[in-house]
Amino acid sequence: MDAPNKEFALAGSLEELKVKGRLVVHGSHRPILVIYDRGRVYALDNRCPHMGFPLERGSVEDGILTCHWHHARFDLESGCTFDLWADDVPICPVEVRNGDVWVKTTFGHADPAAHWHQRLADGLAHDLGLVIAKAVHGQLAADVPLANIVRQVALFGAQNRDGWGVGLTILTALANLLPVLPEEEAYLALFHGARRVAADCDGEAPRRERTPLGSRPDPAALKRWLRRWTRVRHREAAERTLLTAIAAGLSPAVLADALLAAETERAFADTGHSLDFINKAFECLDLIGWEHAAVVLPTVVGQMVAARGAEESTAWRQPVDLVALCDEAASQLPELFAAGRGAHGWSDHAALARELLGDDPSRIVDALKAAIRAGAAPADLSRSLAYGAALRVARFGNANEHADWETAHHVFTYANAVNQMLTRIGTADIDGHVTAVRGILHGAMALYLTRYLNVPPARIPGEGGEHLDDLPADAETIRAALLDAFDRQRQVDLAARLVARHLTLGHSPQALIATLASAVLREDAGFHAYQMLEAGVRQFTVWGEADEGRHILIAVARYLAAHSPTERAALQTADIARRLMRGGELHQEAGAS
């Protein structure tokens, strides 16, 4: 029996369909449900778009098909769902020829990229995890560039809540990691980023647009104003000033300097999150294009002006006034950098990092001053700070309270953000940029205050001639053992040893990083885990494969091991979506029973 063309398959005779009410067409294609209802024939994907339950086992009434698993309801004619969480069921053309029913076995859309773009918009708007997962998968299958998907989600997030949130930070952190991720992991990364942005925006009022000033003040005035409005917590004024700077076409480096100067009007504000969010907004624009600066950058201003600075905290005032120490050092920065201007080739990054881990705040500040006089640039100092903060995590004592992991984490991600911002700002106009260097002083004091986390310090595996010969030597076996360690609670030290083993044997750090990313992406990871992973990879890139790079990845692995495993519910959603999109039958056994 020949088909009208090879895209069509015979479902059966119309008489048979009328008698049975429904038929299922199996083949190499996805199973197709053909339904006869009130004189018309319909054909749909037999797998419920929610979780794949066979729709042939559902019921039809008044043109509505109801799945009997979670009772999602669908318009029989269009496949559109009445229950948004379930998603629409794909339909396919059906033809009745000479008393036989033929169905087209290929599902698809005339413009898949446009279709899945719209579905992602729907999923984001209604915070529908399964729809988001399918739409991301669909866009990837349609060869939509990764940056386009990131852009769609980022702009949605920037416009649909009043300010930058953790979702946009997670999206940006994961998007930064996309180049080191295999294809399957890229899908997971984008899904996690998008679902967290959608969750952030769920129930929130959209952001209100502000406009730039009508004038074009010079960059120095705009920077002064931004600092002034931040000090007095005048959000509207700060946003209009920033929008004016963007409209004037100021470069990302100049904008970064202005925002970092304003941000550091307060010390270590909101335990470093405010500055980290600013840095992430810049990185987001690097990913999606600076033409979106006026949409994205102002989202950080609300938190920046409202943030609580550490100067309001007792620990920063008693028994040593760390804020006064920072203020005094900050006032000396212009002359310190002037003194260091003739010096070149400063490279004592690791040695400075160890001085920053000292227990005398005055000596810590003195070490920073000495480094500046010796020619260290702001990016050099912040690189040392980030490594020192990573060592704090790498040596985090297991006797500490679990919540203290976050204390160590905050300093590290803050230090990484300061390093990224100061690297972006550069040294072209160091005299004009010294204000932003206050971020290093604040970070150094935050690091000092966390010294108790290393009492006693955890041993860094591989140090002091320690051999790790009890561990496997083969690279893949080590990485499998690492993932296995993340499957169990309290495997902090084992994870650190495996990372040390992998790197000291000279195995690929990129493969190890991909494994760490995979470990995070399969979890219902907390906001900090994404930050930790991405900041660690950034700093590993800065420091390279020497001891320092190894210590940084050990810090990442220890933190992740302390927060694994989780329920992995999001991974299950992503997996269901992937299998539905690939056309597999998820519940054949249920259908056969």
187 is written with which tokens?
A: 């899908």
Asked if residue 322 lies in contact with residue 316, where contact means CB atoms within 8 angstroms, the answer is yes
CB of 585 to ligand FES, least distance (A): 13
504 is written with which tokens?
A: 């000291």
Among 69, 225, 540, 559, binds ligand FES (CB under 6 A): 69
Among 40, 70, 233, 490, binds ligand FES (CB under 6 A): 70
519-540 per-residue burial string, b: 16 or more CB within 10 A, e: under 16: bbbbbebbebbbbbbbbbbbbb
The values of phi and psi at residue 95, to 5°, are -135, 140
Among 36, 42, 53, 396, binds ligand FES (CB under 6 A): 53
Q: What's 88's DSSP letter?
A: P
By beta-carbon proximity to ligand FES, the closer residue of 88 and 265 is 88
CB of 7 to ligand FES, least distance (A): 27
343 is written with which tokens?
A: 């010096």
CB of 140 to ligand FES, least distance (A): 24
CB of 314 to ligand FES, least distance (A): 53
Report the site for ligand FES in 85-124 (rule: CB under 6 A): 86
By beta-carbon proximity to ligand FES, the closer residue of 82 and 452 is 82
The amino acid occupying position 231 is R
CB of 68 to ligand FES, least distance (A): 8
Stretch that binds ligand FES, among 64-72, 225-233, 259-267, 558-566 (CB under 6 A): 64-72
211 is written with which tokens?
A: 């406009």
The rounded radius of gyration (Å) of the Cα atoms in the chain is 28
E strand segments, 14-67: 22-25, 32-37, 40-45, 59-61, 64-66
Query: Containing H/E element for 498?
Result: helix 492-504
Stretch that binds ligand FES, among 62-70, 126-134, 146-154, 425-433 (CB under 6 A): 62-70
Stretch that binds ligand FES, among 67-75, 395-403, 441-449, 516-524 (CB under 6 A): 67-75
Q: Three-state SS string across 196-248, please?
A: HHHHHHCCCCCCCCCCCCCCCCCHHHHHHHHHHHHHCCCHHHHHHHHHHHHHC
CB of 198 to ligand FES, least distance (A): 20
By beta-carbon proximity to ligand FES, the closer residue of 42 and 53 is 53
Asked if residue 556 lies in contact with residue 486, where contact means CB atoms within 8 angstroms, the answer is no
By beta-carbon proximity to ligand FES, the closer residue of 130 and 434 is 130
Q: Would you count residue 576 as binding ligand FES (CB under 6 A)?
A: no
Beta carbons within 8 Å of 79's beta carbon, 6+ residues apart: 44, 45, 88, 89, 90, 91
By beta-carbon proximity to ligand FES, the closer residue of 48 and 481 is 48
Report the site for ligand FES in 22-51 (rule: CB under 6 A): 48, 50-51
301 is written with which tokens?
A: 């201003």
User: CA dihedral defined by 572, 573, 574, 577, rounded to 10 degrees?
Assistant: 120
Report the site for ligand FES in 157-186 (rule: CB under 6 A): none
Fill in the per-residue mask, 402 to 431: x = in contact with ligand FES (CB under 6 A), - = not in contact: ------------------------------
By beta-carbon proximity to ligand FES, the closer residue of 363 and 582 is 582
By beta-carbon proximity to ligand FES, the closer residue of 66 and 313 is 66
Query: Containing H/E element for 14?
Result: helix 14-20
CB of 283 to ligand FES, least distance (A): 38
Q: Three-state SS string across 246-298, please?
A: HHCCCCHHHHHHHHHHHHCCCCCHHHHHHHHHHHHHHHHHHHHCHHHHHHHHH
Positive or negative: CA dihedral 237, 241, 242, 246: positive
The amino acid occupying position 490 is R
By beta-carbon proximity to ligand FES, the closer residue of 119 and 395 is 119
- How would you classify the pairing of strands 64-66 and 73-75? antiparallel
564 is written with which tokens?
A: 């694994």
By beta-carbon proximity to ligand FES, the closer residue of 68 and 490 is 68
By beta-carbon proximity to ligand FES, the closer residue of 86 and 440 is 86
By beta-carbon proximity to ligand FES, the closer residue of 48 and 521 is 48
By beta-carbon proximity to ligand FES, the closer residue of 83 and 348 is 83
CB of 47 to ligand FES, least distance (A): 8
Nearest to 435 by CA among 265, 245, 570, 246: 265
Q: Would you count residue 520 as binding ligand FES (CB under 6 A)?
A: no
CB of 82 to ligand FES, least distance (A): 11
Fill in the per-residue mask, 271 to 290: x = in contact with ligand FES (CB under 6 A), - = not in contact: --------------------
By beta-carbon proximity to ligand FES, the closer residue of 41 and 86 is 86
CB of 133 to ligand FES, least distance (A): 15
CA atoms within 13 A on the CB side of 413: 30
Give the separation between CA 336 and CA 430, rounded to whole angstroms: 11
Q: Would you count residue 65 as binding ligand FES (CB under 6 A)?
A: no
User: CA dihedral defined by 577, 578, 580, 584, rounded to 10 degrees?
Assistant: -150
By beta-carbon proximity to ligand FES, the closer residue of 69 and 191 is 69
CB of 22 to ligand FES, least distance (A): 16
Kindly state the number of chain residues that form the binding site for ligand FES, as judged by CB under 6 A.
9
Q: Would you count residue 268 as binding ligand FES (CB under 6 A)?
A: no
Stretch that binds ligand FES, among 66-74, 90-98, 423-431, 447-455 (CB under 6 A): 66-74
Instruction: Summarize as ranges the residues that interact with ligand FES (CB under 6 A).
Output: 48, 50-51, 53, 67, 69-70, 72, 86
